Structure 1
Amino acid sequence: MTNTSFGTGSFGLTRRGLLGAFAATAVTAAPFFGSAPAFARGAGDIRRIRMYSGRTGESLDSIYWIEGDYIPEVVKEINSFMRDWRTGDTIKIDLRTIDIMAASHRLMDVTEPYMLLSGYRSPKTNTMLRSNSKGVAKNSLHMVGKAADLRLKSRSVGQMAKAAAACSAGGVGRYSRSNFVHMDCGPVRTWGG
């Protein structure tokens, strides 16, 4: 899925560390404006997310934010892409999670898309997964569209976790034995090994 249409929707960001990660990794720098807030100067003018799903066979490579505005049509595509593949249920994915994923991707300097293992999880799916694993939280942020479990072939779990943690914008879980990293827009914290 690729969408190149332009939207006018705008959502505020509240995580200074996340914006700093975009500023530090911007491909195209925005013009300098002396009156602009410090976190916005040099933040770049686009944000892009690249993912594929081995579960559904779908791919997504889209610019979802341009010059301060999220593109509503692309955000809808992201919501659909990150659906609970077991039930088909969708939810609005918290855009801060997408921003963390995109900033981490930029920090790792890769073109390879993320493999999305888990985005949104319906309560039914979360309950089923909890019955089979101790590592699934009862009140998982996946159930409210605030988390993603991701993998890259070209980067280790440690490298991915380090990039996500550098954003200082949410939770980062290392699951080395299962070869994936959990990223969320909840409280800043890290766990796993």
Structure 2
Amino acid sequence: MTKSSSMGLTRRGLLSAFAATAICAAPTYSKAAGFLRGGGDVRKLRMYSGRTGEHLNMVYWIDGKYVGDALAEVNHFMRDWRTNTGINIDTRTVDIMAAAHRLMDAREPYMLLSGYRSPQTNAMLRSRSSGVAKNSLHLKGQAADLRLDSRSVSQMAQAAAACRAGGVGRYTGSDFVHMDCGPVRTWGR
């Protein structure tokens, strides 16, 4: 699902760009976008959904600009799979996810558990769990619940919190981390 071939980019060229930028990408910036600015001119996101079977592996930022077609794919991928409805996902959340993934030096894609949630889905989940907020940032396309098999909840949460760009929730019992672009805060164990 990547648009890189239509933009004249090759796999070898992208790998070279990632290798060259890894040297100057030190996690010392206070915001995810700032951290990514130090990472070069290419930003990438890799995810899969166990619910839909879909995979996403794409460059969504090149030379200081978001790639519109790539963001459209992110919006579709992170849709509410229960209602098949979507919304524009806040690019700040995408940047936090990408920055945390990069900080962890993870090779595997994120498993997306929840991206955008329709009001109907959020209400249904609230009726089943006290851990679902009435005014969840998922309703605004500003949050994602993610898992990595190769990293613990603690490692993922520490990487996301290091971005200092939004909320980070640890859900150790359910084995996932919530990342959002709301106020900087942390919760859970």
Shorter-normalised TM range: 0.7 to 0.9
Contact kept, 8 Å, 1:19 with 1:43, in 2: the verdict is no
Per the normalisation by structure 1, the TM-score is 0.84
Task: Give the match's secondary structure for 1:191.
Answer: strand
Residue aligning to 1:2: 2
Name segments (4+ residues, structure 1) moved above 2 Å: 19-22
Looking at structure 1, the residues matched to 148 and 39 of structure 2 have their Cα atoms a distance apart, in angstroms, of: 25
Contact kept, 8 Å, 2:2 with 2:57, in 1: the verdict is yes
2:82 to 80, 83, 86: 86
Looking at structure 1, the residues matched to 52 and 168 of structure 2 have their Cα atoms a distance apart, in angstroms, of: 25
Looking at structure 2, the residues matched to 85 and 162 of structure 1 have their Cα atoms a distance apart, in angstroms, of: 28
Looking at structure 2, the residues matched to 161 and 65 of structure 1 have their Cα atoms a distance apart, in angstroms, of: 24
Residue aligning to 2:26: none
1:190 alignment partner AA: T
Looking at structure 2, the residues matched to 182 and 3 of structure 1 have their Cα atoms a distance apart, in angstroms, of: 28
Aligned CA-pair RMSD = 1.3
Spell out the pairing of 1:56-135 with structure 2 (5 A cutoff). 56-135=52-131
Contact kept, 8 Å, 1:83 with 1:90, in 2: the verdict is yes
Task: Give the match's secondary structure for 1:104.
Answer: helix
Per the normalisation by structure 2, the TM-score is 0.86
Identity of aligned residues (%): 68
Kindly provide the CA deviation profile for residues 80-113 of structure 1, in whole angstroms up to 9, marking residues without a partner as x.
Answer: 0000000000100000000000000000001100
Task: Give the match's secondary structure for 2:145.
Answer: strand
Kindly provide the CA deviation profile for residues 121-174 of structure 1, in whole angstroms up to 9, marking residues without a partner as x.
Answer: 000000000000000000000000000000000000000000000000000000
1:18 alignment partner AA: A
- The answer for unaligned runs of 5 or more in structure 1 is 7-14, 23-39
Number of equivalenced pairs: 167
Looking at structure 1, the residues matched to 175 and 30 of structure 2 have their Cα atoms a distance apart, in angstroms, of: 29
Q: Kindly state the Cα deviation for residue 67 of structure 1 after the two structures are TM-superposed.
A: 1.2
Contact kept, 8 Å, 1:21 with 1:166, in 2: the verdict is no
Are 2:157 and 1:161 equivalent residues in the alignment? yes
More helix by percentage = 2
Are 2:58 and 1:49 equivalent residues in the alignment? no
Looking at structure 1, the residues matched to 3 and 100 of structure 2 have their Cα atoms a distance apart, in angstroms, of: 21
Residue aligning to 1:182: 178
Looking at structure 2, the residues matched to 85 and 19 of structure 1 have their Cα atoms a distance apart, in angstroms, of: 28
